[in-house]
Structure formats: structure tokens, C-alpha cells
Amino acid sequence: MRTEYDVIIIGGGATGAGTARDCAMRGLKTLLVERADIADGASGRNHGLLHSGARYAVNDRESAAECIGENLILRRIAAACVEETEGLFITLPEDDLEYQAKFVECCKAAGIKAEAIDPKLALKLEPEINPEIIGAVKVPDASVDPFRLVAANVLDAKLHGADILTGWEVVEFIKEMVTITGVRIRNVKTGETKAIRAHYTVNAAGIWGAHIAELAGVHIGMLPSKGALLVFGHRAAKMVINRCRKPANADILVPGDVVSVIGTTSDKVPFEECDDMKVTRREVEILLTEGCKLVPSLATTRIIRAYAGVRPLVADDSDPSGRNVSRGIVLLDHSKRDGIRGFISITGGKLTTYRLMAEMTTDLICKKLGLEKPCETAIKPLPGSEPEAANLPHKTWTVGQKAAFNRHGGCVTQMDFAQNNTEEICECEHVTRAEIAYAVHNLGVKTLDDLRRRTRVGMGTCQSSFCVLKAAKVLAEELGTPDAAQQLVRDFLRERWKGIKPVCWGDQMREAEHMRNLYKEAAK
Amino acid sequence: MKYDVIIIGGDQRDAEFGLQYLKAGKTVCLIAEGGIIGSPQARAAYAKAGGIILMADKVEKVDVNPDGTVDSLRTANLGATPLKADLYILASGRFVAGGLKSDMTHVWEPIFGADVQFAEDPESWCKEDFFAPQPFESFGVKTDNDGHVLKEGKPIANLIAMGSIIAKQ
């Protein structure tokens, strides 16, 4: 690893990973620093919704237009991460049907193909929705796997020469007069520190960006907004289901892989809570009550997990009270804004617009460096999403191979599905030893939680009850530290428990007790 | 059908316990919804000693005498045919086995509607740490000092609770 770069990017979420990819593709010497793991913050704690932009069409046309533009790009360049489910905006008897006409009109103005359809037809397309609906609009929403998306960006950044450091946090900025010339980073495990220099440092740390900015000596007014979500044990619907009304709590259901996710809530939280978001029973109740109005069968579907992410809302610079929130993407050139050179912040925005945010950031860096290299991230597919992947011989594959293909697209050809590698380690998600080995050696996995973000191990209905021992053994072997297996198990069960605790009743209470019966002695 | 003892449960310990009654010359029927879990030997010994197992069957209705004692049970497979006993033993386990049911705010015992001890505030049902003893593991039916199951505060004279379904202090 070098100690001097063109660009250092702080934050391994979608925006940071996308920026690292874009910078590396334009030939910049790039380093990405992430204190935990990639997609560990809000990038891994959201709906997994590839917005069509329809949700924003009425109130924020600019965001809506950005979303539909990126939606169409990501379907192409991130095909392996996107499931083209399409979406519905349904109007319930308690909602104002007049909103629908305005909604469709605004969608069209933003360039979103929105089509009002007969409620009867909507029920045919998606029989699980509330049969009481009085209106329905079809929109090009889709489901996107945020973990896969971030991992693919990181992988491609690496393939283009970027260095990726996870488990390192920025503790200090190196300044010369008014110019930031690098950062001091610390290994969160060992405490080792390093100084790394770069022409430009990009703050892409989401809500934690407020703290990073303070370290750099500038202030960004950020308002942490907690969004809680529930995971249901199977696909309660095959399309994305939205409520056709002014955006409110729990009005989107997204099917993804073998589960469905309903969300979200929106509550201001203090910065101190951002590192350890807990979902309360009250939030679960709101999500469940509202969710059942969209899809009634949710009332009898097992909730396997609850989680929450923090939106990095940015206070409008023009409003000293900090109450007005900037909508959409916020790119701050701190040399212009604060007189601090060599430092850029990119925040706000949405998962759907991460690529555009990365492009805007990289454009700014290139402009400053006097580099004329066009952005190619909207044209070149991410690893695994190459169009040729569709021609692979799926029909002859095992279940595990097919599942790996669904997750990693064309990269499945790099996995070694030799005889003793086809054993399924996680049966809910059909994760094989071959896929785990690939993830460890190519996608920077250190813990079972990292492995979960790369392969979905332990994310299915059993929440790792049946796979944690096998997965820990295989991971420890692949990492070359067989003695670490027990600790991997303990850490992972503790992590899984956080999401099970808020939804521990009914059938999930049975699952929880079963998990305890199996592993409660494992702490000793 | 009349037995001396009816046990509702499917753990191998229930079969072993039933075997002790059989050895004492009693007739025993075991209603095991999920079959006998655990040692096949325990099951075989119980069956060999003349114990009856109603496999994959479950109690659907309880007939109660005016004094609150259990008169008879009806099961899913036997339909209208009542099962009677001098002593009924409730050993249907906690949550995994289905002896206790729960929703967002309540925990109940589904067969007899027995009194159940559980924390009022659902936020306190689980601890933050997975490895800490979990409060929900102490939930269960209330009993008197002799093990009789309580319903509306009163013991049911011919129904005793056994195993993990009993509330822990």
C-alpha cells in the first residue's frame, strides 16, 4: 500500500464506494477508508428500493428526475444487483383519490412513466395488495440489493487500482495552512496509526460526515433522522407497493431476495444514538399497522427482524436556524464554502442516486486537478453485471450455483464449485462453501457479519440458527485462523439478536427460544 | 376412553415419566403433537409397558366440570370421542413446543387458558445481550405449591404442570 494518493475517500457506503470506483476508473490513485465494513451504515440499513422517483414527484421534482435517470442507468450497469419488480402506488379508501391525478401528472413532468390502472387490474398484477383499493398507478420502481451494489462498486474500484481499507478510522486531518493534505488513520482493532497524504480528501461518511467535517475544521449542519424497518419471513408481494399519498410512515413494501421489507418511520435522533440504532416496540407497531393496510397478509406473516438506519439530512446553509433541510444531493466544496482547500463533502441524496453523487464529486476533483477524463460509470457495467452473464449455462447449475449467480452475477464463474465446495452452508439463502471462499478472497471479509453483507449468510428465516456454526468454521478456515471460529459465532449471534429482540413474539419468539436453546452455552 | 393419567407433551422425559406410572400399574395416554422428541429408547420402553401415544394429535377442546376440574379432552384426530383421566399433566413446553403462545403484548396458555406469569412491558421480554438469561424464558403457567395449575387464581385439582411450561420465579 502506498502512502500518497490523489484522493482519499472517507466512508464505505454506496456513495464512498461509487466515488472510489469513479475516481479509480478515471485513473486517479484512490484510497477508500472505512472504520467498520462496507455498507455498514445507512447503505446497508434501508429498504433496498431502487426508486423510480415517483415518491418525490409531487414535492421534489428535481430529486424525482434524478431518481428516474439513475434508476434506468442502474438497471443496466448493476443488473446483478437489481430485480425488476416494478411498483404500484395504491390509493386506499381513506386516502384522497384526487392526489392520484396530481401524482401522475407530476411523475410525467419528471420523466417517470406512471400509468393509472384499473384497481381490478392492479389486483391481478399483485393479488396480495389490499382488495379495498380505489386507485392504482404502475411505476418503474425496482428492488436493489444495497450490499451487493456497494460490494460490486468496491470490487470494481479495486480492479481499477484503488486501495480499500476497512476497519480503519480517520482520527485527524493533516493540514498545511488552509489546505488539507491527508489524514491520520487508526486501526480500530490494533490501535496502529498511519499518516496518508492526498491531493483531495472526500467526506462521504453519511451521518458520520458531520463529525468528519468537525475534524477537518468545518461545520456541516446535519440532522440525523432515524428510519426503522421490518423484515418479513417471505416475499409478501412480488412488486414494490407504495401508498399514493403524501410520503408518511410505513408506506413502502419492497420484496427482496427471499424476504420483504416494510418501512419506514422518520424521527429525529441525537448523534450519540447513531452508532447503535435500536428499534422500539412502538415503532414496530406503527410499521405493522400501516403495513397491513398495504398488504393484509402481513398480519399473519412472521416478522424475522427489525432494523434502523440514519438518513444524513443536511440543514440548508441559507437557513441559520437549521430547520430547513436541503433536499437531494449536497456537494460541498469546502475551499469555496469555508476556505479549507483539498476537502470535499458529498452527502444527502439517496441510495438510488449514489452513482450520480459519485460522478458529481469526481467531476469536481478532476476539474480541480485539471484532468479531462469523462465519467464512464453510467456506461460500464459493474463486475458481474456484464450483459454476457445472461448467457451462462444456468440450467445445468446446482441450487447453490444459481443462488450465487443471483447474488454475484457473472462473477460466479470465479467461484470454484468443485465437488467438496458445493455443500450448502446457509440453507435459507443457499450459500455454499465455494461462495464463502470467493467472498473471503475477493470481497474483503473478516467477520461473519461482513460475510452476511457479501453473501446473505444468516439473513433468511432462521436468522443463522442453523448455519452459524458451519459458516463460522468455513470462514475461520478460509481466513486461516481456525481457532477464531468460536468468537465469530459469539459476535454474529449477538449481532443477529439486536434485530430479533424488537420483534420477539409469536412465531419469532419460538425461533428466538430455539436459538437460545441451541447456543446459550456458547458464551462460555 | 378413560385412563388413569393423560400427559400432554412430547419430550422424552414425558415418556419416561409415563413409564413410572405404568410400572405402578396405572394406564397412561400421552398426547404428543410433535411426536416424541429425544431418545427412541424412552419411547419404545413406554410403548412396551403398554403406554398409549397419540402421535401428531393435539387437544382442541377441554370440557370442564362445575367445580372447575377437567372433565375430559377432545383431540383433533379423535373428534367427538372424549378422553378422560383421573389426573391430567400439562407438559406442553414453552414457546418452541407451543405450550405457550404470544402476540405483541400478551402470553397465554392455549389449552386450558391457565394463568400465565409474564412481564407486562413487552420491551422487557428480552435482554440486549443474546447470552444473558432472557426474561421470556421465565414466563410460564402459575401453579400452587403442589404443582396444580392455576386458573383465575384457583388451583385445578386434577391438572398439574410439569417441565418448562411452569413459570420460574
In this prediction, residue B163 carries a pLDDT of 95
In this prediction, residue A504 carries a pLDDT of 96
Do A97 and A204 lie in one domain? The reply is no
- For B130, which of A284, A497, A509 is closest by C-beta distance? A497
Do A162 and A122 lie in one domain? The reply is no
Instruction: Give me the DSSP letters along A240-257.
Output: EEEESSS--TT-EEEEET
Do A497 and A363 lie in one domain? The reply is no
**Is the CB of residue A289 less than 8 Å away from at least one CB of chain B?**
no
Give the helix/strand (H/E) hosting B71: strand B70-75
Q: What is the CATH number of the domain that holds A300?
A: 3.30.9.10
Q: What is the CATH number of the domain that holds A162?
A: 3.50.50.60
Residue A352 lies in a domain: yes
* Chain A residues close to B136, C-beta within 8 Å: 504, 509, 512-513
A513 and B96: CB-CB below 8 Å? yes
The residue among B100, B121, B124, B131 with the most chain A CBs within 10 A of its CB, best to mutate, is: B131
* Chain A residues close to B108, C-beta within 8 Å: none
Task: Tell me which residue has cell 411523475.
Answer: A107
Q: What are phi and psi of A338, to 5 degrees?
A: -125, -5
Give the model confidence (pLDDT) of A67-76 as tens digits. Answer: 999 999 999 9
Out of A311, A328, A344, a domain closes at: A311
Domain count, chain A: 3
B111 to chain A, minimum CA–CA distance in Å? 16
Q: What are phi and psi of A286, to 5 degrees?
A: -60, -50
B104 and A281: CB-CB below 8 Å? yes
Out of A296, A311, A326, a domain closes at: A311
Residue A76 lies in a domain: no
Share of chain B above pLDDT 70, in %: 100
pLDDT at A157 over 90: yes
Q: Is A386 in a helix, a strand, or coil?
A: coil
B104 and A504: CB-CB below 8 Å? no
What is the domain range of residue A154? 4-42+147-221+315-369
pLDDT at B38 over 90: no
Nearest CA in chain B to A282: B123
Do A259 and A406 lie in one domain? The reply is no
Average pLDDT value for residue range B126-134: 96
Percentages helix, strand, coil for chain B (3-state, rounded to 5) are: 20, 35, 45
First to last CA, chain A: 39
The residue among A286, A449, A497 with the most chain B CBs within 10 A of its CB, best to mutate, is: A497
Do A174 and A288 lie in one domain? The reply is no
A519 and B137: CB-CB below 8 Å? no
Give the model confidence (pLDDT) of A492-509 as tens digits. Answer: 999 999 999 999 999 999
Q: What are phi and psi of A110, to 5 degrees?
A: -90, 0
Where would I find the beta strands (DSSP E) of A107-153? 115-117, 135-139, 142-144
In this prediction, residue A226 carries a pLDDT of 95
A493 and B131: CB-CB below 8 Å? yes
Do A433 and A460 lie in one domain? The reply is yes
Give the model confidence (pLDDT) of A365-421 as tens digits. Answer: 999 999 999 999 999 999 999 999 989 988 889 999 999 999 999 999 999 998 788
Do A213 and A319 lie in one domain? The reply is yes
pLDDT at A334 over 90: yes
Cβ atoms A465, A456 nearer than 8 A: no
Cβ atoms A187, A352 nearer than 8 A: no
Give the model confidence (pLDDT) of A101-124 as tens digits. Answer: 999 999 999 999 999 999 999 999
A509 and B136: CB-CB below 8 Å? yes
B125 and A504: CB-CB below 8 Å? yes
Cβ atoms A376, A36 nearer than 8 A: no
Instruction: Please report, for residues A100, A162, A446, A474, the alpha-carbon distance to residue A480 in angstroms, rounded to integers and kept in the order given.
Output: 58, 25, 11, 10
B43 to chain A, minimum CA–CA distance in Å? 23
A514 and B98: CB-CB below 8 Å? no
Out of A268, A294, A311, a domain closes at: A311
Average pLDDT value for residue range A179-192: 98
What is the domain range of residue B92? 2-165
In this prediction, residue A127 carries a pLDDT of 96
The residue among A292, A516, A519 with the most chain B CBs within 10 A of its CB, best to mutate, is: A516
In this prediction, residue A324 carries a pLDDT of 66
In this prediction, residue A489 carries a pLDDT of 96
In this prediction, residue A323 carries a pLDDT of 63
A506 and B103: CB-CB below 8 Å? yes
Average pLDDT value for residue range A228-235: 95
Cβ atoms A64, A328 nearer than 8 A: no
Do A113 and A238 lie in one domain? The reply is yes
Do A279 and A364 lie in one domain? The reply is no
Nearest CA in chain A to B102: A506
**Is the CB of residue A497 less than 8 Å away from at least one CB of chain B?**
yes
Q: What are phi and psi of A201, to 5 degrees?
A: -120, 130
pLDDT at A326 over 90: no
Task: Tell me which residue has cell 455498507.
Answer: A39
In this prediction, residue A320 carries a pLDDT of 65
Residue A113 lies in a domain: yes
Cβ atoms A390, A76 nearer than 8 A: no
Give the model confidence (pLDDT) of B47-63 as tens digits. Answer: 999 999 999 999 999 99
In this prediction, residue B36 carries a pLDDT of 81
Average pLDDT value for residue range B122-141: 96
How does the average pLDDT of chain A come out, rounded? 95
Q: What is the CATH number of the domain that holds B133?
A: 3.50.50.60
**Is the CB of residue A285 less than 8 Å away from at least one CB of chain B?**
yes
Give the model confidence (pLDDT) of A238-250 as tens digits. Answer: 999 999 999 889 9
Do A490 and A399 lie in one domain? The reply is yes
Which residue type occupies A13? G
Domain count, chain B: 1
Cis? peptide before A201, omega within 30° of 0: no
B145 to chain A, minimum CA–CA distance in Å? 27
How would residue A322 be classed by pLDDT, with cut points 50, 70 and 90?
low
- How far is the C-alpha of A430 from the C-alpha of A465, rounded, in Å? 14
Residue A47 lies in a domain: no
pLDDT at A141 over 90: yes
Residue A178 lies in a domain: yes
* Chain A residues close to B137, C-beta within 8 Å: 513, 516
pLDDT at A319 over 80: no
A513 and B128: CB-CB below 8 Å? no
Share of chain A above pLDDT 70, in %: 98
A212 to chain B, minimum CA–CA distance in Å? 29
Residue A77 lies in a domain: no
The residue among B11, B94, B95 with the most chain A CBs within 10 A of its CB, best to mutate, is: B95
Which residue type occupies A140? P
* Chain B residues close to A518, C-beta within 8 Å: none
Nearest CA in chain B to A512: B96
Can you list the alpha helix ranges (DSSP code H) found in A301-386? 334-337, 354-369
Cβ atoms B149, B143 nearer than 8 A: yes
B131 and A284: CB-CB below 8 Å? no
Cβ atoms A449, A457 nearer than 8 A: no
- Number of A/B CB contacts below 8 angstroms equals 59
Do A480 and A408 lie in one domain? The reply is yes
Give the model confidence (pLDDT) of A410-462 as tens digits. Answer: 999 999 998 788 999 999 999 999 999 999 999 999 999 999 999 999 998 89
Nearest CA in chain A to B126: A501
* Chain B residues close to A510, C-beta within 8 Å: 95-96, 98
* Chain A residues close to B122, C-beta within 8 Å: 281, 505
Half-sphere exposure at residue A391, Cβ-oriented, CA atoms within 13 angstroms: 3
* Chain B residues close to A490, C-beta within 8 Å: 131
Burial class (CB in 10 A: 0-12, 13-18, 19+), A387: exposed
Residue A36 lies in a domain: yes
Nearest CA in chain B to A502: B123
B136 and A506: CB-CB below 8 Å? no
Q: What are phi and psi of A70, to 5 degrees?
A: -70, -35
pLDDT at A321 over 80: no
Do A410 and A511 lie in one domain? The reply is yes
